[in-house]
Amino acid sequence: GRVGDPIKISHFDQYAVSKTLAEAIIADSGLKYWVSLRQTSMAHLGLHEIVDPISFHSPLNGVLEWSTAWDSGRLLANVCEESVPDSFWRHFYNIGGGANSRLTNYEFMEKTYGAMGISDLSKVLRPNWFATRNFHGQWYTDSDRLEALVPFRSQSIDDFINMLKKNTPLHIKLVGRFAASAIFWRTRSLAKSPGGSLHWLEHDETSHIDAFFESRDAWRSIPDWDAFTPAQPSRTPQFLNHGYEEKKPRESWTLSDMQSAAEFRGGRFISDHTDDAFKQYNWRCALGHNFTMSPNLMLTGGHWCPTCMVDPKCYADVARHSPFFAQVWQES
């Protein structure tokens, strides 16, 4: 994926809602020097300290493009330098480590668990503890763009794994190597805690079961490790249609461009003129919501109706009217 693709928030992901709304506030604030750096998953040495049932919300065969904590920190320092070009500002960027940092979640777990002394995931985890859907991870087609403007990368994911091996405390490695059963029961207990996948199933939390597994029957059909097939997603870039001429400079956008872009999103451009990509204008979505938004936020940020955008329950209706959103929507 890339910036400008439709914003599609997972069910129950209030964190994503808050980030999306906050990004819109900054982008349409009128500030001249702002930037939205969309942080991907961050690899850091405290991974073994994370004890949170949200760990089971990520599908094993899902994907993420990682960035290390050091590279992300270096980026934040570098954007404060006077050498940053003016063209950098008032844009949206995906932070990612590039091609060498694109892994499936299963691959990442194999590497990190291995670095911490656990060579066989089947001894400490079960596939049906992990969601099979409702997760927003992706690899980026545009993360190199940020590196070209403000160089910050110095570590691949393999560099991080080597660092993790050297810095994981010895007692953690010993437990992983000689007490895998203890880790299994501890991890299973975490999955049974509130917010965990097994907790939803034990307490018949149907809305969560349906969101993350499609149904209880679908969960029952998840194979164990002996039948698990690690995914090998395509690494060929695929570009979604954003509904406007992307090579056209922002200062050259016209009324016709706005009208066509709104129609591609199933809505209408209500204002009768446009002369500033950063000024807020009036729009109406396919479901009848009126709102104001700058063309820059909509076209380069991928935002649209702020009511529909943060409500996954209406996504099916949106997709039926919006060719733009339909590109990222699949009916259950």
Q: Name the DSSP class of 103.
A: E
- Convert the pLDDT of each residue in 5-41 to its tens digit: 999 999 999 999 999 999 999 999 999 999 999 998 9
Residues 201 and 281 occupy one common structural domain: no
Question: What contacts 252, CB < 8 A, 6 or more positions away?
Answer: none
Write down the pLDDT at residue 233: 92
Residues 223 and 262 occupy one common structural domain: no
Residues 268 and 167 occupy one common structural domain: no
Residues 130 and 197 occupy one common structural domain: yes
Residues 120 and 262 occupy one common structural domain: no
Residues 144 and 278 occupy one common structural domain: no
Residues 219 and 265 occupy one common structural domain: no
- Convert the pLDDT of each residue in 183-221 to its tens digit: 999 999 999 999 999 999 999 999 999 999 999 999 999
Q: Is residue 75 part of a domain?
A: yes
Query: Residue 332: pLDDT above 70?
Result: no
Residue with tokens 């949200």: 54
Cα(72)–Cα(179) distance, rounded to whole angstroms? 34
Q: Is residue 238 part of a domain?
A: no
Residues 47 and 192 occupy one common structural domain: yes
Write down the pLDDT at residue 50: 85
Residues 154 and 194 occupy one common structural domain: yes
Q: Is residue 68 part of a domain?
A: yes
Question: What contacts 317, CB < 8 A, 6 or more positions away?
Answer: 286, 287
Q: Is residue 119 part of a domain?
A: yes
Q: What is the mean pLDDT of residues 96-121?
A: 94
Establish how many alpha carbons lie within 13 A of residue 210's alpha carbon, considering only the half-sphere containing its beta carbon: 6
- Convert the pLDDT of each residue in 57-80 to its tens digit: 999 999 999 999 999 999 999 999
Q: Is residue 120 part of a domain?
A: yes
Query: Residue 224: pLDDT above 80?
Result: yes
Q: Phi, psi at residue 92, to the nearest 5°? A: -120, 140
Domain tally, the chain: 2
Q: Which two tokens stand for residue 280?
A: 């807020």
Query: Residue 281: pLDDT above 70?
Result: yes
pTM, 2 dp: 0.93
Residues 189 and 56 occupy one common structural domain: yes
Domain boundary among 173, 196, 227: 227
- Convert the pLDDT of each residue in 153-190 to its tens digit: 999 999 999 999 999 999 888 988 889 999 999 999 99
Q: Is residue 233 part of a domain?
A: no
Query: Residue 47: pLDDT above 90?
Result: no
Range of the domain at 279: 250-326
Q: Is residue 9 part of a domain?
A: no
Residues 304 and 206 occupy one common structural domain: no
Query: Residue 268: pLDDT above 80?
Result: yes
- H helical segments located in the chain: 14-27, 69-78, 105-115, 143-149, 157-167, 170-178, 180-191, 197-202, 206-213, 216-220, 255-264, 295-299, 306-309, 315-321, 323-326
Cα(234)–Cα(232) distance, rounded to whole angstroms? 7
- Convert the pLDDT of each residue in 126-153 to its tens digit: 999 999 999 889 999 999 999 999 999 9
Q: Is residue 7 part of a domain?
A: no
Q: Phi, psi at residue 290, to the nearest 5°? A: -95, 140
Residues 23 and 90 occupy one common structural domain: yes
Residue with tokens 């405390």: 169
